[in-house]
Amino acid sequence: GAGVSQSPSNKVTEKGKDVELRCDPISGHTALYWYRQSLGQGLEFLIYFQGNSAPDKSGLPSDRFSAERTGGSVSTLTIQRTQQEDSAVYLCASSPGQTYNEQFFGPGTRLTVL
Amino acid sequence: AQSVTQPDIHITVSEGASLELRCNYSYGATPYLFWYVQSPGQGLQLLLKYFSGDTLVQGIKGFEAEFKRSQSSFNLRKPSVHWSDAAEYFCAVGGSGGYNKLIFGAGTRLAVHP
């Protein structure tokens, strides 16, 4: 079956602009995660959605970052007023449920802020 | 604090040689441990995972890892490396009880000489 998909694969934006990154999880997976992979910081957890529960936003680096998950499926990560330090690869992952399971990762969106 | 340490940033081995990638973790409860591989331009692929039971776990592509609680380690091994194993390898730890974010090490980049 289809894996986790993310769009766009690459995004170049100017400092100060807003961007939206999209994640389509594997069908039927109730848990969805966003991570950021950047030079010098490695892979960092950003936010986690599980079903209809309130998301765990503890990894979001600032209030410029927000995420939504509509209908328990597609998720959008929004970065407002982008800064150069936001340049990174943003990875989305999904997993089948609340008990611990493997996370399946998408190919990522490479964001470059000029 | 929860953390994962991968002491080796870069490793170079000859094709056919054995490989061991080190991973040490700090985690307050029973850890769930993972090794992921990332090829250039690709997302993360799970190599293997440890939840409980036998401390020697087998994964895909001929990889194995051993969980040693006394040493807080989860080292990845392969008896004979192939050129296609050149990639970046990430060790990660996660928790039980529904708190599922992964904490990643900084990664080890593996180069394979012919």
Spell out which residues of chain B touch residue A44, defining contact as CB-CB under 8 Å: 104
Question: Which residues are bridge partners to A49 per DSSP?
Answer: A32
Is A100 within 8 Å of B100 when comparing Cβ atoms?
yes
Phi, psi of B25 (to 5 degrees): -130, 160
Spell out which residues of chain A touch residue B44, defining contact as CB-CB under 8 Å: 91, 93, 105
Per residue in A47-61, pLDDT (tens digit) is 999 888 888 898 999
Structure-block tokens of residue A111 = 């964001």
Check residue A100 and give its pLDDT. Answer: 61
A43 CB burial (10 A radius; 0-12, 13-18, 19+): buried
Q: Considering chain A, what percentage of its residues have pLDDT values greater than 90?
A: 72
Among A58-62, A77-81, B40-44, which is the least confidently predicted range? B40-44
Among A35-39, A77-81, B20-24, B39-43, which is the least confidently predicted range? B39-43
From the list B95, B98, B102, the residue facing A98 with the nearest CB is: B98
The answer to whether A50 faces chain B, any CB pair under 8 Å, is yes
Contact B67, B33 (CB under 8 A): yes
E strands present in B27-99:
32-38, 44-50, 56-58, 64-68, 73-78, 87-94
